[in-house]
Amino acid sequence: MGIIKKIEKLQHSFFWGDSQDKKKVHLVNWDLVCKSKKNDGLCIRRMLDKNKSLLAKWIWHFGCEANSLWKKILCVKYGVEPSKLSWNWSSKVETSPFMNNVRSLFE
């Protein structure tokens, strides 16, 4: 089970008041809970959507911050051309879970 699924499971259990030995009846569908307040939901964000938005923000910062130290370190570590937003998909990048998540945003 991936980390996002584990976090969402904890989120569900907390919200519904479940415990390991006792499950409660869920009177509302989780999809409704995640809807915005103006759509009669509680505006609880899905972890996968939040993760994708944070990865997109990270990519945006990567493109905007030309001389930041963290960008230089990542460029050296993953073989990224600093002046471009294209990756040289070396074996380091292909085996990195973080970089695979970033790449999945474009697929």
2-16 residue pLDDT tens: 888 899 888 888 888
The model's pLDDT over 87-102, given as tens digits with 9 standing for 90+, comes to: 444 555 566 777 677 7
Count of the separate structural domains present in the chain: 2
Q: Residues 18, 52: one domain?
A: no
> What's the domain range around 81?
47-104
58 and 76 both lie in a single domain: yes
Exposed e or buried b for every residue in 65-88, given b needs 16+ CB within 10 A? eeeeeebeebeeebebeeeeeebe
56, 97: one domain: yes
Residue 83 or residue 55, greater confidence: 55
Give yes or no: residues 51 and 85 share one domain.
Answer: yes
CA distance 34 to 20: 23
Q: Do 80 and 34 share a domain, yes or no? A: no
Tokens of 95: 């085996």
According to the model, what pLDDT value does residue 38 have? 93
Q: Does residue 53 share a domain with residue 28? A: no
pTM: 0.60
Distance of CA 74 to the CA centre of its chain: 19
27 and 57 housed in the same domain: no
pLDDT digits (tens, 9 = 90+) for 29-76: 888 888 989 998 888 888 888 888 888 888 788 778 878 888 888 888
